[in-house]
Structure 1
């Protein structure tokens, strides 16, 4: 078998690839001038920030932070056009889950009085929006369910109007009352921010969500106690934080603080009377 093979020399055989010639030259790569950037730790927040429109720069106690450029380097609209641009309102939703949870936790401890200071540079509308939205459906659904438990099943009917009235009450309260307080503080010469007030009032309503679940129990005395405690906690949280800011800035701070607390207690009273008290045959049924 070995006789069938022979060695090949340097001749070129058809179909073969020639051996690359050796060379002493070394391939050199030029150094890149590309600039590297460190990773940006946004922790779930929106990338980039914007200059808030209007008076948000004096966000209650200190000016808010933000840059003029938006995502991709595009400048945010200025002047009156900023009020009609979604880009301009993006900073008010620039929060992550941990910050929202921390602010909710602070609203359940009303005697700290440091909520305004913690949110002065980053007031958000994300938490207040979802708190109000949750309250609309929770109070309407649980109010109807509590009515079912407290009355005869044959005479019970689902009241769909509670959804619309809940939306009007909570969205209207958080939207209108802080707006009125904002103009009052402006008139008195107190530096305030409208978005910061919306943030404060929105988080002050969170305590009514667990209170609504407890009001399902068909025992009217317990409902009064639960709504009363929730109202005092919510009003105290609101009053203490407003007092912390305006006590040294206005001589009428006591009247403003007590009025704000009284209105908040009035909201708790409306919550109890409309959603967890039942009217049948022109009489009030308490169980």
Structure 2
């Protein structure tokens, strides 16, 4: 050994290796106090949290409308994946529609809140880049069971508080079927007809966006159904009437804000949409929350 160096056998390794006591000290320190000596100088790369908030981050392209300005997929709907069906087959694949359900609780609650304040008329602009079908589907599904169940319950209360309250009462199970046909049919067919009408008039429109708009316009009927259980017919008329006016105003103002500059016939289109919405509210009141003699069954 010469100085701080020790020679190794030339038959194994050529040259010399430095011998440093500090290295041995560091190794022994790591074995005894790893938390203080081993990782104190670590330089790990950190990544900022993602802002997807639980949204699907897929890479599939949904079927697009002829005009993309009114109906765009949300985040996660850009680009086409290798496994995405092409052509007409894409319309029969569930993955294709996944971007239209790319919303979280905050998004849905925000859109529901907007539907309760019709005077803003900015729902179309807020949802133009991410129209969803999640909210409309669950709003319609909730309305089916809420109106059917509460309609029967309201009929029961009306029967018990009437002069013939001692007679037998029967529920109407057909209200579930009729409610499903009415709400799903209305949200599915009316926007489809409006879409083709706007296409014929040369107005830029999107089918998914119209479905989204019509679906959220019906939310106000859910709390109205609960308030309509009160066994007082004037109260029911007021509740359903206010809900219908709010829904029709929300729908009409948003359609107007979108098509006013695109067609000279915008007034007729808006008035037709409002009239259909008022008709829907009238049907809800007369069928689910108006009770006649046939609601009682004599035995």
Task: Report the TM-score when normalising by structure 2.
Answer: 0.78
Q: CA deviation at 1:54?
A: 3.2
Contact 1:68/1:76 (8 A) holds in 2: no
How big is each residue's C-alpha offset from its partner over 1:69-127, in whole Å with a ceiling of 9 and x where there is no partner?
45xxx442221111011111000000010000000000000010000000000000000
Separation in 2, partners of 1:163, 1:199: 23
Asked whether 1:199 is paired with 2:207, we answer no
Deviation at 1:50, TM superposition (A): 2.4
> Where do 1:1-287 residues align within 5 Å?
24=19, 39-55=49-65, 58-60=68-70, 63-64=72-73, 66-70=77-81, 74-151=82-159, 152=165, 154-281=167-294
Q: Are residues 205 and 167 of structure 1, via their aligned partners in 2, closer, same or farther at CA, if it must alter by over 3 Å? A: same
Query: What is the alpha-carbon distance in structure 2 between the residues aligned to residue 56 and residue 153 of structure 1?
Result: 61
SS at match of 2:125: helix
Deviates more, 1:87-96 or 1:77-86: 77-86
Gaps of 5+ in 2: 1-16, 24-44, 160-164
Question: For residues 131 and 279 of structure 1, what CA distance do their matches in structure 2 show?
Answer: 29
Q: Secondary structure at 1:58's aligned position in 2?
A: coil
Whether the aligned pair in 2 keeps the contact of 1:175 and 1:198 (CA below 8 Å) is yes
- Counterpart secondary structure, 1:121: coil
In structure 1, stretches of 5+ residues that fail to align are 1-21, 27-34
